[in-house]
């Protein structure tokens, strides 16, 4: 992947497609930790995860908010837990990808939950929103935990969250791609630095930039949808860097297709159309 402009030709061969022998678990299991206050964020992520192709998506939440999740999500499994130990035990289902952070507060409790997950044998862990901001002024703790883990970790910050983890990289004359690559190398995680010109960076120094997007993606919940798409592709076993590039491209294409007036729910509804677009593209000359 030498071309820094994100394009399906770089990752389409790795984009997962089910076979006749596929079943819901072979397509990939994903687990999302649901917040207790802003429950809409995790619900958007879960639906996007499923729309991205994950065969079995589960939300894990506190008993107090189980009715909210369970009564509003029909195709998503919802598991209620009395405490964090029970929530961790849900990993016994061996999900390929886990997402934590959407809708969560940036508290010490969230920080401890992330650190506990990094000690588990999870193939891929996506940290979004509150799971990033919880490490403001304690980024070294997070980076050491990532580097001591065998998990493929993904950070999905917008510029504000990026500045909380990498304050020295958020200022100065470095380009967005340089900042993203340096952040990935420092943290040991893949970084998706969001914005109109989103950059995807891998700790190896590999990077890609999304140069075509929509300003209408600047709406509440849009980032939660992107985190869900990423989790869904990782749950299907797509290689990390390729999965991030594909997710950002799909999210961008959805934004361009919808345009004026889009809200986050619309992005989820149009994902099948974007998938069909990729299937058509697969048969076109490159």
Task: Please give the Cα distance from 32 to 74 (Å, whole number).
Answer: 15
Name the nearest CA neighbour of 134 among 163, 167, 101: 101
pLDDT value at position 284?
A: 61
Domains and CATH numbers, the chain: 8-281 (3.40.1190.20)
3-state helix, strand, coil in the chain (%, to 5): 45, 15, 40
pLDDT value at position 2?
A: 46
DSSP 161: H
β-bridge pairing 199-201 and 207-209: antiparallel
Query: Is the torsion defined by CA of 192, 6, 262, 34 positive or negative?
Result: negative
pTM greater than the 0.85 cutoff: yes
The distance in angstroms from the start CA to the end CA of the chain is 15
pLDDT value at position 282?
A: 67
Task: Please give the Cα distance from 26 to 236 (Å, whole number).
Answer: 8
Task: Please give the Cα distance from 246 to 274 (Å, whole number).
Answer: 11
Task: Please give the Cα distance from 230 to 38 (Å, whole number).
Answer: 20
pLDDT value at position 286?
A: 52
The angle subtended at Cα 245 by Cα 271 and Cα 127, nearest 5°, is 85
Query: Is the torsion defined by CA of 192, 159, 211, 183 positive or negative?
Result: negative
pLDDT string in tens for the chain (286-residue length): 445 899 999 999 999 988 888 888 888 999 999 999 899 999 999 999 999 999 999 999 999 999 999 999 999 999 999 999 999 999 999 999 999 999 999 999 999 999 999 999 999 999 999 999 999 999 999 999 999 999 999 999 999 999 999 999 998 899 999 999 999 999 999 999 999 999 999 999 999 999 989 999 999 999 999 999 999 999 999 999 999 999 999 999 999 999 999 999 999 999 999 999 999 886 665 5
The number of residues making up the chain comes to 286
Residues sharing a CB contact under 8 Å with residue 104, sequence separation 6 or more, in sequence order: 33, 35, 38, 110, 129, 130, 131, 134
pLDDT value at position 18?
A: 87
């Amino acid at each position: 992947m030498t071309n820094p402009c994100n394009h399906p030709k770089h990752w389409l061969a790795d984009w997962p497609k089910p076979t006749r022998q596929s079943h819901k678990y072979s397509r990939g299991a994903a687990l999302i930790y649901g917040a207790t206050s802003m429950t809409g964020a995790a619900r958007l992520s879960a639906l996007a995860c499923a729309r991205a192709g994950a065969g079995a998506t589960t939300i894990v939440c506190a008993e107090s908010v189980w009715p909210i999740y369970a009564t509003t999500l029909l195709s998503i499994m919802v598991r209620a837990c009395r405490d964090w130990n029970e929530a961790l035990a849900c990993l016994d289902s061996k999900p390929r990808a886990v997402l934590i952070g959407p809708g969560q507060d940036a508290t010490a409790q969230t920080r401890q939950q992330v650190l506990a997950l990094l000690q588990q044998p999870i193939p891929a862990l996506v940290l979004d929103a509150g799971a990033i901001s919880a490490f403001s002024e304690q980024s070294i703790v997070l980076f050491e935990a990532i580097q001591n883990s065998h998990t493929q970790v993904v950070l999905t910050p917008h510029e504000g969250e990026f500045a909380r983890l990498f304050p020295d990289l958020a200022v100065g004359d470095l380009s967005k791609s340089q900042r993203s690559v340096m952040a990935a190398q420092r943290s040991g995680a893949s970084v998706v630095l969001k914005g109109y010109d989103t950059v995807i960076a891998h700790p190896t120094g590999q990077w890609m930039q999304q140069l075509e997007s929509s300003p209408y993606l600047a709406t509440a919940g849009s980032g939660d949808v992107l985190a869900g798409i990423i989790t869904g592709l990782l749950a299907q076993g797509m290689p990390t860097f390729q999965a991030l590039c594909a997710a950002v491209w799909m999210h961008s294409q959805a934004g361009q297709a919808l345009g004026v007036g889009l809200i986050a729910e619309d992005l989820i509804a149009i994902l099948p159309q974007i998938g069909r677009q990729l299937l058509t593209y697969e048969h076109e000359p490159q």
